[in-house]
């Protein structure tokens, strides 16, 4: 694999500050981002509420808000993820109304021209005064990508395409004027002005869960996500990411997506998860999510059953389930396992964000997991 040029990062800001475990709100722009369920508690998108939640997070000191890009849902009775606001325009509106928090925009590389994305991110960087980041996604499920004529590329080909795509974006951000004729893309007279404010470029985020994906992330991203459901797996994957980054002569900020379920007691939190998974699950949507995104047909029956419960109640994010003290302890353990940041989804952000800020965040500051 040919590496893209690497320039050491000089940008400062909340994502790179020495403040302990970083926090982000994830997926506010999508219905039911943290679960595949019919529950009345599920998040429904509403611009005014989304903005209010982003402002609450900023006021509380969260480092980022991360919208993700969706084009279709998982169908079933309620079509979870089936309604969404565009990630770029959503990010622009949030950027214009905030002053400190970092805002990511998510690009599925197979659906967007690198020339357009380079211009969009540079514009967002100007609107935010240097607070935007780019979340690069190499692919998603075939039924969605088919809308763009991109469903025929296999896994490794998608990463080859994404590497070439990102190389074009970086050249445009660097102010080059160039022709590019590659395996996947042709750009004649590539040009984009103005460039972004952040140098050498806005931070790049990538969530990759395969060996090929980790190779891409550790060589080309500033922040990478790992996927795991227990601390031992977290430690193993963090160690692997850091080893691969070091071999490439780079450092890496390692994040994890987590689903937060906070209640007065641990038992009450677990009871909520059971209800969402066993009573309120949208069974067809759950089956579609597993089949379309995780290769469900090849799984042993017991693994499939366990995963179905996790998808229905937490969308298979790292489970943060319990009373405020338990949640704070779980986050501290993630930090000790090497996690630099946590992107949080919640069933109901309107109550969940307030409770997290009032009851969990002070505990994280008291025990040193986070520093003001």
What is the average pLDDT across 181-205? 96
107 vs 68: CA distance, rounded Å: 8
What is the average pLDDT across 178-187? 96
> Is the torsion defined by CA of 53, 54, 60, 65 positive or negative?
positive
Please determine, for residue 2, whether its predicted confidence score (pLDDT) is greater than 70. Answer: no
Closest CA to 84 of 160, 158, 143, 30: 30
168 vs 115: CA distance, rounded Å: 8
- Residue 3: band (very low, low, confident or very high) from pLDDT cuts 50, 70, 90: low
Closest CA to 345 of 3, 4, 41: 41
Other CB atoms within a 10 A radius of the CB of residue 123 amount to: 16
Place of tokens 């893309």: 185
Please determine, for residue 9, whether its predicted confidence score (pLDDT) is greater than 60. Answer: no
Range with lowest mean pLDDT among 2-16, 47-61, 242-256, 338-352? 2-16
If residue 310 lies in a helix (H) or strand (E), which one and from where to where? helix 301-314
Specify the CATH class of 14-273+314-366 in words.
alpha beta
- Residue 1: band (very low, low, confident or very high) from pLDDT cuts 50, 70, 90: very low
Bridge partners, residue 181, by sequence: 186
Domain ranges of the chain: 14-273+314-366
Provide the pLDDT for residue 179. Answer: 98
Q: What DSSP designation does 15 have? A: G
Question: What is the tens place of the pLDDT at every residue in 25-55?
Answer: 999 999 999 889 899 999 999 999 999 999 9
286 vs 234: CA distance, rounded Å: 25
Range with lowest mean pLDDT among 27-31, 95-99, 235-239, 314-318? 314-318
Contacts (Cβ under 8 Å, ≥6 apart) of 105 = 67, 87, 88, 91, 120, 121, 124, 132, 133, 134, 135
- Residue 349: band (very low, low, confident or very high) from pLDDT cuts 50, 70, 90: very high
Question: What is the tens place of the pLDDT at every residue in 110-165?
Answer: 999 999 999 999 999 999 999 999 999 998 888 888 888 877 788 888 899 999 99
Dihedral, CA atoms, 150, 153, 156, 160, nearest 10 degrees? -60
Tell me if 45 sits within 8 A of 357, measured CB to CB: no
- Residue 186: band (very low, low, confident or very high) from pLDDT cuts 50, 70, 90: very high
- Which comes out higher in pLDDT, residue 13 or 231? 231
Q: What is the largest CA-CA distance in the chain?
A: 61
Please determine, for residue 344, whether its predicted confidence score (pLDDT) is greater than 80. Answer: yes
In the chain the beta strands, taken as DSSP E runs, fall at 22-26, 64-66, 102-108, 132-137, 178-181, 186-190, 204-207, 223-226, 253-262, 318-322, 341-346
106 vs 29: CA distance, rounded Å: 11
pTM higher than 0.75: yes
Question: What is the tens place of the pLDDT at every residue in 211-234?
Answer: 888 888 899 999 999 988 899 999
Bridge partners, residue 321, by sequence: 261
Provide the pLDDT for residue 266. Answer: 98
Range with lowest mean pLDDT among 12-21, 112-121, 185-194? 12-21
Question: What is the tens place of the pLDDT at every residue in 295-309?
Answer: 655 567 777 777 788
Place of tokens 């609450």: 56
328 vs 324: CA distance, rounded Å: 6
Please determine, for residue 107, whether its predicted confidence score (pLDDT) is greater than 60. Answer: yes
What is the average pLDDT across 340-351? 96
Instruction: Name the average pLDDT for the chain.
Output: 91
- Which comes out higher in pLDDT, residue 229 or 171? 171
Tokens, residue 311: 């998808």
Provide the pLDDT for residue 300. Answer: 73
């Amino acid at each position: 694999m040919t590496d893209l040029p690497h320039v050491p990062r000089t940008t400062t800001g909340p994502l790179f500050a020495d403040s302990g475990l970083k926090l982000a709100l994830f997926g506010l722009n999508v219905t039911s981002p943290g679960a595949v369920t019919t529950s009345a508690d599920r998040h429904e998108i509403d611009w005014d509420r989304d903005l209010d939640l982003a402002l609450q997070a900023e006021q509380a000191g969260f480092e980022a808000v991360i919208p993700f890009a969706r084009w279709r849902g998982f169908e079933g009775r309620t079509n979870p993820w089936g309604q969404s606001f565009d990630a770029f325009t959503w990010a622009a509106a949030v950027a214009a109304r905030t002053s400190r928090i970092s805002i990511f925009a998510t690009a599925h590389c197979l659906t967007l021209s690198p020339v357009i994305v380079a211009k969009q991110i540079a514009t967002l960087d100007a609107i935010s005064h240097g607070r935007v980041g780019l979340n690069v996604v190499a692919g998603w499920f075939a039924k969605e990508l088919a809308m763009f004529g991109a469903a025929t590329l296999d896994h490794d080909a998608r990463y080859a395409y994404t590497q070439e795509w990102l190389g074009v974006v970086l050249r445009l951000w660097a102010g080059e004027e160039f022709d590019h004729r590659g395996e996947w893309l042709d750009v004649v007279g590539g040009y984009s002005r103005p460039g972004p404010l952040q140098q050498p470029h806005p931070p790049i985020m990538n969530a990759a869960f395969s060996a090929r994906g980790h190779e891409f992330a550790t060589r080309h991203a500033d922040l990478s996500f790992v996927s795991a459901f227990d601390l031992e797996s977290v430690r193993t994957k963090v160690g692997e990411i850091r080893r691969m980054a070091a071999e490439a002569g780079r450092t890496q900020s390692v994040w994890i997506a987590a689903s937060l379920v906070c209640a007065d007691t641990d038992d009450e939190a677990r009871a909520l998860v059971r209800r969402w998974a066993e009573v309120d699950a949208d069974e067809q949507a759950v089956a579609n999510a597993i089949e379309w995104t995780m290769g469900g047909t090849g799984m042993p029956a017991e693994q499939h059953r366990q995963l179905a419960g996790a998808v229905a109640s937490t969308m298979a994010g790292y489970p943060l389930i319990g009373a405020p003290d338990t949640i704070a302890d779980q986050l501290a353990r993630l930090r000790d396992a090497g996690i630099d940041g946590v992107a949080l989804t919640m069933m109901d952000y309107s109550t969940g964000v307030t409770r997290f800020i009032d009851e969990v965040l002070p505990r994280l500051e008291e025990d040193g997991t986070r520093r003001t």
